[in-house]
Amino acid sequence: MSTETVAQEKQWPEFSIRPAVEADVDQVLWFIKELASFENTPDPVTTTSEQLRQILFGSHRHPDSHALLVYAREADGQEKPVAFALYYYDLFLRGGQLKLYLVNMFVCSEYRRMGIGKLLLSRLANIASENGCARMEWRVQDWNQPAIEFYESIGARQLKGITICQLDKKNMQDIVNF
């Protein structure tokens, strides 16, 4: 298991990134709930720890789904989880290659503007490159101007003319029975 450590300016703690393991499922779920709260999503997070465990590590595991956790080493030497990213590999058929799709990324508010987002995206870009991906993609809420500006500052571009469509479980069943 590789760990990446980056020392920041003196007033900032040292951060390390590592892949989530099965024992981290509750922590990953906590981050998912924090992100949903931050985004004011209308639908509550109903995922359970066991469901998430099955998706990431169990019998329903998507083989290309992964999570990263970022820890801050506090002054007392204790490590505190401060950020996470969930991602998977998807097809980029026009390029004949894979792409890394960042599903979620969240940094705890008191640790923002310390370089953690850039650290996570740098690690993800490295992972994507190591796995032959032609690109990375993610979504950002259109109201989240600080995130949009951050992504643009690292060279990300917004795709215009794309609308995301989705079917919920009821609508999927309706079309199955069509």
**Catalytic residues, which ones?**
151
The whole-angstrom separation of Cα 150 and Cα 20 is 25
Place of tokens 């370089």: 115
Cα gap 55→108, rounded to integer Å:
24
**φ, ψ dihedrals at 28, nearest 5°:** -60, -45
Strand partners, 18: 69
Backbone angles phi and psi of 6, in degrees to 5: -130, 125
For 9-43, b/e burial (b = at least 16 CB within 10 A) is eeeebebbbbebeeebbeebbebbebbbeeeeeee
Q: Which H or E element spans position 80?
A: strand 79-92
